[in-house]
């Protein structure tokens, strides 16, 4: 091989059907590695067909869209991104390219692509026609551009794009020979959506979309092909269906099991500006025009949900409580600590939270600083094994007192731990409304007075325990029952409050305390 040939080989990028097939490595077609290679080739084709290069933050998003369509995993993927940063471009590029190439490859890779032998079908939805047209019109533009026309005229593809439709019935763009199509429809509650069959559905401006329309009208259109749906939009002031879907996907991603594919993606203006200087200039003007601290800027460009009403703790306040210098503390013997245990019920987990208390330095109203040291989570383990896991965790600390939620089996758990840990005071705690009110009010006061400190070191943030704690605290909702303030996980898929309950229990153990004989001259953590 000559030097020129070597250079050409390095620059080689598959652009048509023969190239895609020839570039395929010798892999088992049913393997994960094969799917990965196929998706990467389709990603390259998308860039070539649409004459674009994805920004680095767009690549994993485009990859996941293509993967979900190829595999047919029936997922609900969520994407929240800063406005005008290219999220619609990613979707339109992927849809346009796959409309062209998937039917042509259906006979080459029948295991994965046979379902596209009569075309790739996509539905684009939004609350209003103008909103839906944002993505749809870009798909049409991609398919009818001079660059795309050159591809379509290739004998291997031999197709032609045609658009049509009318107001009220939606708009459609289709490929004459392959059968691929993309249809635009509105999904507001008053709209009568004509039922169609799709492989992929997009709901843009999903923060305004109606939950009933998504579940009862759009998703059934995907059932025949086990198609996937993507919800895209921006943050708002309401816990919309979009918000709940994001939180559910975040929980799944945090608790991901083997084989789990990422289901939520997000990036703010800083990520987009890092790779796109022009976008950075645009944001600079927006910061001056509307103000960086305005609700509009926070929602549109920072992806911040303005949900203070009803939330137990806001993301901003919670972040303020994290100490970036503090890692998780797996052992501690210098001063006594307290531990709160929330006992597993149904599908949740048993969680123990170890909390250090600065007994020697109460503030003006008698509140002690509380520092979370570590968490223990036990899931799907028999009770006998749980007892000994808890004992092993407790013995790594100098523990003054343990509080156990006595609701349900909690009373028996407290009794057994009292026997196993006879040198430590183990208290079964009531969970009636009055008792819960006392500990949630106390926890609120600690947070408001900045007397609660949580590990925020980068090493701590990478642990699954930290991620679960953070997610559950942000999920937590204030609930008023008569005169009592309670806090509970929302009635949503995958939402739990074990970590939050455990923390509240631990902190409640100091409500009436005046620590007797103990001297800590200075904060031992510094």
Residue spans of the domains in the chain: they are: 13-267, 269-307, 315-508
Q: What is the CATH number of domain 13-267?
A: 3.40.50.300
Q: Residue for token digits 């570039």?
A: 23
Q: What is the largest CA-CA distance in the chain?
A: 89
CB within 8 Å of 67: residues ≥ 6 apart: 35, 39, 73, 261
The number of beta carbons lying within 10 Å of the beta carbon of residue 266 is 17
Residue 364 structure tokens: 């003006």
Q: How far is CA 307 from CA 312, 474, 488, in A?
A: 10, 10, 16
Q: Which of 498, 475, 458, 191 is nearest to 341 (CA)?
A: 498
Please give the pLDDT value at position 493. Answer: 78
**Residue 397: beta bridge partners?**
332
* Distance (Å, whole) CA 466 – CA 319: 12
Q: How far is CA 134 from CA 124, 161, 203, 221, in A?
A: 10, 19, 11, 22
For domain 315-508, the CATH architecture is 2-Layer Sandwich (3.30)
- Yes or no: say if 463 and 328 are a contact pair by the CB < 8 Å rule: yes
- Yes or no: say if 430 and 406 are a contact pair by the CB < 8 Å rule: yes
Please give the pLDDT value at position 42. Answer: 97
What phi and psi, each to the nearest 5 degrees, are found at residue 89? -65, -40
Please give the pLDDT value at position 327. Answer: 96
Please give the pLDDT value at position 523. Answer: 60
CB within 8 Å of 330: residues ≥ 6 apart: 374, 396
- Yes or no: say if 356 and 375 are a contact pair by the CB < 8 Å rule: no
Please give the pLDDT value at position 104. Answer: 94
Mean pLDDT by 10 residues, the chain (526 residues): 39 50 62 93 96 95 97 95 92 97 94 95 93 93 93 89 63 93 88 86 93 92 96 88 93 82 94 93 93 91 83 90 96 94 85 94 86 95 90 96 91 93 94 92 93 96 96 89 85 87 96 56 57
The number of beta carbons lying within 10 Å of the beta carbon of residue 132 is 25
Q: Which of 373, 419, 423, 427 is nearest to 402 (CA)?
A: 427
pTM greater than the 0.85 cutoff: no
Q: DSSP string covering 462-514, please? A: TSHHHHHHHHHHHH-EEEEETTEEEEE--SSTT---HHHHHHHHHHHTTTT--
- What confidence tens digit (pLDDT) does each residue in 468-498 have? 999 999 989 888 777 888 999 887 778 899 9
């Amino acid at each position: 091989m000559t030097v020129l040939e070597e250079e050409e080989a390095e620059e080689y990028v598959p652009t048509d059907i023969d190239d895609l097939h020839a570039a395929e490595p010798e892999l088992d077609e049913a393997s994960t590695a094969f799917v990965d290679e196929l998706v990467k080739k389709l990603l390259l084709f998308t860039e070539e067909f649409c004459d674009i290069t994805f920004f680095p933050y767009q690549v994993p998003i485009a990859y996941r869209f293509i993967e979900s369509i190829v595999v047919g995993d029936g997922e609900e993927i969520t994407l929240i991104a800063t406005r005008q940063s290219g999220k619609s471009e990613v979707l339109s590029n992927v849809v346009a390219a796959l409309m062209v190439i998937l039917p042509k490859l259906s006979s080459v890779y029948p295991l994965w692509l046979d379902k596209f032998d009569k075309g790739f079908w996509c539905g684009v939805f939004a609350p209003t026609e103008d909103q839906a047209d944002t993505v749809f019109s870009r798909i049409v533009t991609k398919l009818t551009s001079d660059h795309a026309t050159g591809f379509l005229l290739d004998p291997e593809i031999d197709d032609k794009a045609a658009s049509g439709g009318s107001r009220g019935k939606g708009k459609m763009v289709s490929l004459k020979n392959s059968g691929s199509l993309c249809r635009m429809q509105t999904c507001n509650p008053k709209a009568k959506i004509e039922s169609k069959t799709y492989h992929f559905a997009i709901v843009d401006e999903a923060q305004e979309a109606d939950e009933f329309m998504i579940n009862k009208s759009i998703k059934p259109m995907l059932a025949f092909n086990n198609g996937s749906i993507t919800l895209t939009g921006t943050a708002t002031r309401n816990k919309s269906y979009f918000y709940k879907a994001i939180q559910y996907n975040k929980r799944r991603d945090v608790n991901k099991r083997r084989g789990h594919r990422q289901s939520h993606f997000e990036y703010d203006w800083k990520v987009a500006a890092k790779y796109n200087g022009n976008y950075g200039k645009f944001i600079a003007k927006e910061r001056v025009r509307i103000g960086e601290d305005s609700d509009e800027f926070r929602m549109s460009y920072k992806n911040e949900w303005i949900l203070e009403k009803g939330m137990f703790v806001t993301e901003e306040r919670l972040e303020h409580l994290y100490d970036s210098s503090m890692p998780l503390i797996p052992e501690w013997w210098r001063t006594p600590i307290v531990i709160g245990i929330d006992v597993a019920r149904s599908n949740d987990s048993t969680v123990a939270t170890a909390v250090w208390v600065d007994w020697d330095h109460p503030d003006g109203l008698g509140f002690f600083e509380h520092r979370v040291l570590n968490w223990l989570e036990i899931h799907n383990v028999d009770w006998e094994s749980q007892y000994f896991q808890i004992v092993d965790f407790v013995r790594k600390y100098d523990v003054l007192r343990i509080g156990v939620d006595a609701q349900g089996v909690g009373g028996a758990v407290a009794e057994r731990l009292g026997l196993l840990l006879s040198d430590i005071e183990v208290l079964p705690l009531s969970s009636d409304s009055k008792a819960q009110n006392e500990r949630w009010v106390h926890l609120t006061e600690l947070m408001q007075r900045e007397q609660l400190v949580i590990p925020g070191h980068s090493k701590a943030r990478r642990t699954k325990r930290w991620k679960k704690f953070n997610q559950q605290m942000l999920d937590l909702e204030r609930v008023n029952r008569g005169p009592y303030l309670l806090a509970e996980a929302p009635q949503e898929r995958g939402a739990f409050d074990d970590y939050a309950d455990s923390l509240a229990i631990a902190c409640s153990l100091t409500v009436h305390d005046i620590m007797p004989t103990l001297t800590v001259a200075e904060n031992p953590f510094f």
